[in-house]
Amino acid sequence: MRLLKKIFVFPRILYFLIPILIISVVFTNLPSNGVEVRSIEFIGEATLPKGLILKKTEVGGLSGITYNAKDNLYYAISDDRGQKAAARFYTLKIDLSKGLLQKDGITPVSVTTLINENGQTFRPGETDTEGIALTNKGTVFISSEGNAAKLINPFIKEFSLSSGKEIVALPIPNKFLPDKTSQQGIRNNFAFESLTITPDKKHLFTATENALIQDGVAAKPNIGSPCRILQYNLLNNQPEKEFLYQTEPVAPFLNLIGKFASGLPDFLALDNQGHFLSLERSFTGLGFAISLFQVSLEEADDIHNIDSLLAVDSKNIKPIKKKLLLDLRKLDVLLDNIEGLTLGPKLPDGQQSLILISDNNFNSLQRTQILAFKIKIENPLIRLLRRFIPNFNL
């Protein structure tokens, strides 16, 4: 009798194992194993007072931002080239405890001065720090655009959070470095604006804001620019891959002053499988055009062995995939010069927050603006369940 019970118990186990096996097989063979943003909702705006002084430095030029979940703090890098004070980043508190951002929800906490490898502050004009990304080692990586006009190279360096001291500098591939002939390398003020690290802390990504000189034209009215995404392996601190990112052509609106600028100021890793949010920002002559995209590297070609896109048939190169998530001009908000983004904490309803920040250029006509959003991020399993179960919602 016991033997018969064992024989009939075994199939019952299969009832549990077979569905799990089927789901696992389907899950691992999905076209995308990465996350996807299903929805986005604006939850508030705040601005810092103009001319705000913190520890004898003017708070401004905030071009990049990163979030410390452990301490619920944000670090924002200033792109001041040493004119107002030495190169530095600020620590901020952003209150989202009520599920929204109120007008007084931003509190500057402290300022950290960057110290170079020689134990000195960076000289005025030596840096143009634009991107910042937090590690799990009590450090941040910071990117600088350099100054192509003065042949000052861009850099990506790691600094201590507590002391601001430089720890290591990542090598920059030669194709990105400016030269005396002005025939290759970054364009001035269109270099490494962006910086992000994958959740597993194994890879760092940056990108040029516009095309390298040898890759194509800078963005113009109604014309996009072919940027390069640069991927680093943080296990050995070496560059390993590059990808083509084409910015969107933007039409100026009443461009009476004749000025136009457009590019890729920041992007943000959502997972470890090459899925990001990207931020494209344009000054159109009358206000700013800001767009958020979902980005995937899954089928993009690695172009790190191609020194010049103009020297090859770039039509055969598969760029990264983009999908428009939000055109911020549709919000009931007067947009400023948005340049940075980061994921914030989970909100009271369990959804993920997203923070965007603007660079006021230390201009009295501009503001340091912080925008907050609620985003719903789906993993592949949830997408699979929604595919097979009608009206499934989580």
What was the pLDDT predicted at 55?
93
Average pLDDT over residues 185-208: 97
Separation of alpha carbons 191 and 343, rounded Å: 23
| CA-atom Rg of the chain in angstroms | 23
Phi, psi torsion values for 313, nearest 5 degrees: -85, 95
Model pLDDT, residue 6 = 46
Over 80: is that where the pLDDT of 179 sits? yes
Do 34 and 275 contact (CB within 8 A), yes or no?
yes
Average pLDDT over all residues of the chain: 90
CA 15 to chain centre: 45
pLDDT above 70 (res 1): no
Contacts by 74-80 with C-beta closer than 8 Å and gap 24+? Answer: 74/342, 74/344, 74/355, 75/132, 75/134, 75/140, 75/161, 76/132, 76/340, 76/357, 77/129, 77/130, 77/131, 77/132, 77/142, 77/340, 78/129, 79/128, 79/129, 79/130, 79/359, 80/362
DSSP secondary structure code for residue 192 in this structure: B
Q: Which residues contact 206 (CB under 8 A, 6 or more apart)?
A: 131, 143, 156, 192, 194, 195, 196, 229, 230, 232
> Nearest CA to 260 among 291, 214, 218?
218
Longest dimension (CA), the chain: 92
How many whole angstroms separate alpha carbon 39 and alpha carbon 203?
A: 26
Nearest residue to 307 (alpha-carbon basis) of 231, 369, 386, 214? 214
Band of pLDDT at residue 30, cut at 50, 70 and 90: very low
Binned at pLDDT 50, 70 and 90, residue 339 comes out as very high
257: pLDDT strictly greater than 90: no
Query: How do residues 56-103 score in pLDDT, each as one tens digit?
Result: 999 999 999 999 999 999 999 999 999 999 999 999 999 999 999 999
In this prediction the pTM is 0.89
Instruction: Decide if pLDDT at 3 tops 50.
Output: no
- Give the C-alpha separation, 300 to 51, whole Å: 44
Report the percent of the chain where pLDDT is more than 70: 86
The neighbouring-strand residues paired with 74 are: 67, 92
Q: Specify the pLDDT at position 4.
A: 41
Tokens, residue 80: 């001041």
pLDDT-derived band at 261 (thresholds 50, 70, 90) equals confident
What confidence tens digit (pLDDT) does each residue in 220-246 have?
999 999 999 999 999 999 999 999 999
| Residue type at 140 in one-letter notation | V
CA dist., res. 7 & res. 308, Å (int): 68
Stretch 257-264: mean pLDDT: 81
**Residues 134-156, mean pLDDT to the nearest whole number:** 96
pLDDT of residue 105 exceeding 70: yes
262 pLDDT more than 50: yes
For the chain, percent of residues with pLDDT exceeding 90: 81
- What is the predicted pLDDT for the residue at 286? 76
Specify whether the CB–CB gap between 36 and 64 falls below 8 A: no
Phi then psi dihedrals of residue 376, to 5 deg: -105, 115
Q: Does residue 166 register a pLDDT over 70?
A: yes
pLDDT in tens, 35-47: 899 999 999 999 9
Mean pLDDT of 204-217: 97
Is residue 25 pLDDT above 50, yes or no? no
pLDDT, tens digit, for every residue of 350-390? 999 999 999 999 999 999 999 999 999 987 665 555 555 55
Least confident of 17-31, 153-167, 238-252: 17-31
- Per residue in 221-234, is it b (16+ CB within 10 Å) or e — as a string? eeebbbbbbbbbeb
- State how far the Cα of 357 lies from the Cα of 99, in Å rounded to an integer: 18
What is the per-residue pLDDT for 199? Answer: 97
